[in-house]
Amino acid sequence: MASILQVKHLKVSFRTSSGTVKAVRDISFDLERGKTLAVVGESGSGKSVTSKAILGILAGNSIVEGGEILYDGKDLLKISEEEMCKVRGDKISMIFQDPLSSLNPIVKIGRQITEAMLLKNKGNRKAARKDFNNTLALLKQAMIAAQGQDSAAKVEEMVKTFDTFCIEGIKLENSYNQAADVAESIISHTEDFLFAAGKKRVDVKAELREVSDKLKRLKDPFLTKGYDEKIAHMAAQLDQLRVGYREPAKKKGEETVFQLPQEIRTALEQVEAELKQMMEQTRPNFFRIGYYKLKNPNENLTAKPVEQLNEEALKCLDSNFMLEFRSMVEQGLRHSFQTALEKKQAVLPQLEELKVFYTTGELEKGSAHSRAKAANALVQDSIDKLEIVKDSAAYTFGMALENTIDRYFMAKVRNPQEEERYAKQSAKREALIAKGKTVDWKVVPKTVYDLDEMKGDIVRVVDNLIERYQAYIAAAGEVDFAARTVELIDYFKLKASQVVNVVTKTMARERAIKLMEEVGIPEPRIRYNQYPFEFSGGMRQRIVIAIALAADPDILICDEPTTALDVTIQAQILELINRLKEERNLSVIFITHDLGVVANMADDIAVMYAGKVVEYGTVEDIFYDPRHPYTWALLASMPDLDTKEKLDAIPGTPPNMVYPPVGDAFADRNKYAMKIDFEQQPPEFEVSPTHWAATWLLHPDAPKVEPPKIITDRIARMRKAEGENA
Amino acid sequence: MSNHDNQEVLLKVEHLCQYFKMGDSELKAVDDVSFEIHKGEVFGLVGESGCGKTTTGRSIIKIYDITSGSIYFKGQRICAGTRSYTDEIARCRKQLKALGSGDAAKKAELEQRIATAREEMRKAKYDHKHSDAEYAATLVEKIQQEYAPKLESAKGDSAKLAALKKQMAEEIRIARKSKLITNIQMIFQDPIASLDPRMTVREIIAEGLVINGIRDKEYIDQKVYEILETVGLVREHAGRYPHEFSGGQRQRIGIARAVIMNPDLLIADEPISALDVSIQAQVINLLNDLREKLGLTILFIAHDLSVVKYFSDRIGVMHFGKMVELASSEELFAHPMHPYTKSLLSAIPLPDPRSEKKRVRITYNPLAEHDYSVDKPSLREISPGHFVHCNDAEEKAYREELGL
């Protein structure tokens, strides 16, 4: 499984008047595509800070002290705000805890949902064109290199053809899709109207006008082929009916059931039936047709039946162009891969050398930077640019290296200054106290960085890349170039469709209504024009989810989405998130303090305490075989339906993170704490390949302890229940 | 921790209706709800948000004037609504009008009914308004009786007599101010919103005592310190402000404020919903301790069913202002009868991933489940202590389901 998002050694702290609060202290995890990672812990354990760091929305007084968040070849901690804008909300979306405070109270919810679609569209088109052109240029280079200089002209020609027909075809497709959207909206709109008309008073004239307007707009050479006359006729008929329609007079004080005139009902039903029939036609394959059109510019494409056109276009494309082009692309890819591989092999010893350089001896600023630059140039050169799944470690190598080096030298300068300041202030304070004065201010605690640890950070960046490269070289024999070719061509198609994809306001509206239906909001057409205060809690949360999904993200971060809701609504929202995850292959980071919710949602669980992950494992590991005392405490403090005995509340409160404890942060509240827990931080002890916990209890020399009875009982009960079911 | 044997009724709610005006129409937040709470038990009230469980709690403590029905506390009617009587009168008047000049016997009967309803309404209004005054009067009488022999014996000694008289006057003053309703206290959901940020903890906790006319500062301080220690805080906390505390501590302050009045009944309106998991356990344990120590009766309103099951002796399930099922907590979870209860139970998330992934949620659609067009439903006792809102046909089906 490929991980889509990697968080590595993230450290975040906040400057406050009482000192630096270390909110997140060195956490790492991987999020896999299509999986849910649950982050569990008390408030103040740093779970929300982690998610905010991923989105780049940390508060102003935060300092990212180190680490990387790798996504799609970028380090989200180091890219500029402008680049971050392209990721935030578009690729990574977030659902916040309180639905009311994340909606704008004075903007109708329809506009709030469509906002992201409209804003993103323009930027996306430009970016897609750039991606398309860049990748095509790289491909051209690789192909020429693979075929030799002689065939350069031919390659040039073919790439140009590909470019032209790809875009042409997608343009046709786009117009088809837009028309299909309109048709679909007419169908669903009419259905809604006919349903509502029997129940309450409706505005018949407005409805007829809207449907006929939409019908007049409905025109596409492929979609409405053979239906154009019918559509025009139906539109005219609706207009006529509209002119002839008279509102039934309303008598005072009399409630009459509203009846829709039969001829209007029939006309609308006919529209619905005709359009449904039209939508069931075979869909033309526009990628092929684009080429066909390029070859036969004068032919009337719409004259032939769609099936026949599809067939002929495929034959034309394959025999004249595609087979040859595909084999050439494959060769190009192979060539590009080989060159990259050779370069990588050549770069490896240099990286080893670099590692030694950073590990041994005193670092000197100038040489450290120049070595980093030189190494980065080599590394960037060794990247296979035609890879679609980008290797983040290589792309961000230079930046990460520079960053850690900068930090190291900054700390080197800062540390003595900080020491001096601290000594001065303390001396002043003591002098004042000695004089017998009352001192009403405190000495700001000193923040001294550990230089060895910072050096370790530099080395780790290099180490990380070396590991990646070794793995890459080891797997070199297994690359399937045919599959990669298909992937690459699909990538071009995707980018081309993004280039021509224009989202207008009406389209965005239809899409938003569809989305609202998808998240389970009844009567979306009416709801679209309402304000947030007109919705109940569960409905508001659904709208927030719809907004988060509007830009079609890869990753969804849910920050306690159901904490404010009651059981039935909570169950509905969780089911909804699970369903959307399946349908859209979303990766979800689910933050909560309720372990009951997690059992249903998560694939993996990270239990956080005081800014650290204390236990990590699959959902079954954590619930059936918990190892860390904090996980025990969390599990024991919530009653389930069979709990009778007194609850094991966790005594006390989480530690003050201005002065993080020396040893295990949980030691103070832990009844299993040993002496070493107060002195040294526990390392991560592996329980199974998918499960580890940071507690000294797992050390071979530690005394054997049993989890609290309440948990062992529950696990026994769960196992028994399962045995009965099986 | 059950108190089933104790059948003394502390609070009785009869046909409680609470309607709110919404423009021309009325919102029936609570519609004909009846239940009893026995002394020493924890009565859980569950349901979705908007089902009227909080409104029920607030109506009991007279935050709203109820529309119809009566609430008895310690045998005395403390709240009464008049809607049912006005409806009755209107109905009778309409029939009278329809009768015209015929049938004198029927007419007389109707007029008699109107008179009874009027009388009842007058009583209800009186009770609603004067229940506290009556309670105060009984208290005063009690004190006077208590002091009568003492005064008699101290007749010769004028200094002692004066001291006794002063003491009595002071006690009577406090008794005159005391209200029956102060024996019911409430804990609110959001500890931050329910504490005044500009008052110290001492002021917050002592406010009830001060309002009740106690002027002895030392006594108040003593009482505040005592109560702080009871709820697991320390006396140094008395001088601080609410914002200096964590969520769990704030909720403890809220509990202290309620408990200092020495109430018989505590209404806990979602006291743990806004808290962290570990803190939730602390607060539940605290409430359990207090209940044992002070012999409290608790009306526990919540939507987290696992907690309600853990904490309550009996549970009432509400849906759209109606009580749909009422039973002891074991019975309710073992044999849920009403389809809404079943759907609610099926939505509880459990800390067991394997069964969780297999869990099927039952949806409840009242229109599809029940046919109440002819046969009207009411709350009926299916088995001893187990009440379900159903009609005749359903009652039969439920009984069969239980094997009765």
CB-count burial class (<10 Å; 0-12, 13-18, 19+) for A702 = middle
Alpha-carbon gap: A89 to the closest alpha carbon of chain B (Å):
28
Minimum distance, in Å, between the CA of residue A715 and any CA atom of chain B: 8
Tell which wins on pLDDT, B365 or A32.
A32
CB pairs under 8 A between A and B: 127
CA angle B201, B243, B230 (to 5 degrees): 40
Contacts of A646 in chain B (CB under 8 A): 285, 288
Calculate what percentage of chain A has a pLDDT beyond 70. 97
Residue A564 C-alpha, separation from nearest chain B C-alpha, in angstroms:
8
| Of the listed ranges A244-253, B10-19, B363-372, the one predicted with least confidence | A244-253
pLDDT: which is higher, A190 or A38: A38
**The predicted structure's pLDDT at residue A1:** 47
Q: Which of A195-204, A641-650, B218-227 comes out lowest in average pLDDT?
A: A195-204
Nearest to A507 by CA among A499, A515, A518: A515
Chain B residues near residue A648 by CB distance under 8 angstroms: 281
Tell me, yes or no, if A202 comes closer than 8 A to chain B by beta carbon.
no
CA–CA gap between residue A485 and residue B185 (Å, rounded):
73
d(CA A543, CA A478): 45
Residue A141 neighbours by CB under 8 Å, 6+ apart: none
Q: Given A633, A647, A722, which is nearest B284 (Cβ)? A: A647
Q: Complex ipTM, two decimals?
A: 0.79
Q: Which are the contacts of A602, defined by CB distance < 8 A and separation ≥ 6?
A: A36, A37, A38, A590, A619, B353
Those residues with Cβ within 8 angstroms of residue A694's Cβ, 6 or more apart along the chain or in another chain: A612, A613, A614, A615, A628, A664, A681, A682, A683, A684, A685
* Predicted pLDDT of residue A249: 67
Sequence spans of domains, chain A: 3-106+531-602, 147-248+257-326, 620-725
Report the C-alpha dihedral over residues B58, B64, B65, B70, rounded to 10 degrees: -10
Closest alpha carbon to A611 in A59, A92, A43, A7 = A43
Distance from CA of B317 to the nearest CA of A (A): 13
The average pLDDT across B43-59 equals: 87
Mean pLDDT of chain A: 84
- Locate the DSSP E strands across B273-370: 297-301, 314-319, 322-328
Q: B278–A600: do the CB atoms touch at under 8 Å? A: no
Residue B248 has pLDDT above 60, yes or no: yes
Cα(A162)–Cα(A639) distance, integer angstroms: 64
Domains of chain B: 181-263 (3.40.50.300)
pLDDT score, position B279: 80
**At A16, is the pLDDT very low, low, confident or very high (cuts 50, 70, 90)?**
confident
User: What confidence tens digit (pLDDT) does each residue in A280-298 have?
Assistant: 888 888 888 888 887 777 7
Of B351, B353, B357, the CB nearest to A640: B351
Nearest-CA distance from B318 to chain A in Å?
A: 13
Is the model more confident about B378 or about A100? Answer: B378
Q: What is the percentage of chain B residues whose pLDDT exceeds 70? A: 98
Nearest to A35 by CA among A554, A501, A544: A554
Is A623 an interface residue toward B (CB < 8 Å)? yes
Choice between A452 and B313, residue whose per-residue pLDDT is larger: B313
8 Å CB contact between B278 and A637: yes
Topology (CATH level 3) of domain A3-106+531-602: Rossmann fold (3.40.50)
Say how far apart CA A231 and CA A270 lie, in whole Å. 11
Residue-wise pLDDT tens digits, A668-720: 888 888 888 888 888 889 999 999 999 888 888 888 888 888 888 888 888 88
Residue B344 reports pLDDT greater than 60: yes
Closest Cα in chain B, distance from residue A657 (Å) = 15
**For residues A140 and A469, what is the distance between their CA atoms, to the nearest angstrom?**
26
- What is the mean predicted confidence (pLDDT) over A587-593? 90
Q: How confident is the model at residue B2 (pLDDT cuts 50, 70, 90)?
A: very low
Partner B contacted by A714 (CB < 8 A): yes
pLDDT, greater one: A618 or A493: A618
C-beta atoms of A593 and B277 within 8 A: yes
pLDDT digits (tens, 9 = 90+) for A397-423: 888 888 888 888 888 888 888 889 889
Mean pLDDT of A431-446: 82
pLDDT of B165 above 50? yes
How confident is the prediction for chain B on average, in pLDDT?
87
Looking at residue B116, what is its pLDDT? 92
Please tell me if residue A43 touches chain B, with a CB cutoff of 8 Å.
yes
A 628-657 residues with CB below 8 A of B?
A: 633-641, 643-644, 646-650, 653
Report yes or no: A537 at the B interface, CB cutoff 8 Å. yes
Contact residues of B toward A, CB < 8 A: 48-50, 246-248, 276-282, 284-285, 288, 303-307, 309-311, 333, 343-344, 347-359, 361
Question: Residue B365: what pLDDT?
Answer: 80
Reply yes or no on whether the pLDDT at A252 is more than 60: no
On whether any CB of chain B is under 8 Å from the CB of A596, the answer is yes
Sign of CA dihedral B66, B70, B72, B76: positive
Local structure of residue B76 (DSSP, 8 states): E
The pLDDT score that the predictor gives to residue B223 is 92
Provide the pLDDT for residue B3: 44
Return the residue in B278, B319, B361 with the most chain A beta carbons within 10 A, the one to mutate for interface testing: B278
User: Across the interface, do B277 and A537 touch by the CB < 8 Å criterion?
Assistant: no
The DSSP string of B201-220 is HHHHHHHHHHHTT---HHHH
Question: What SS3 class is residue A469?
Answer: helix
**Residue A199 above 70 pLDDT?**
no
Residue of B nearest to A573 (CA): B347
- Indicate the pLDDT class of residue B200, thresholds 50, 70 and 90: very high
Distance to chain A for B28, nearest Cα, Å: 17
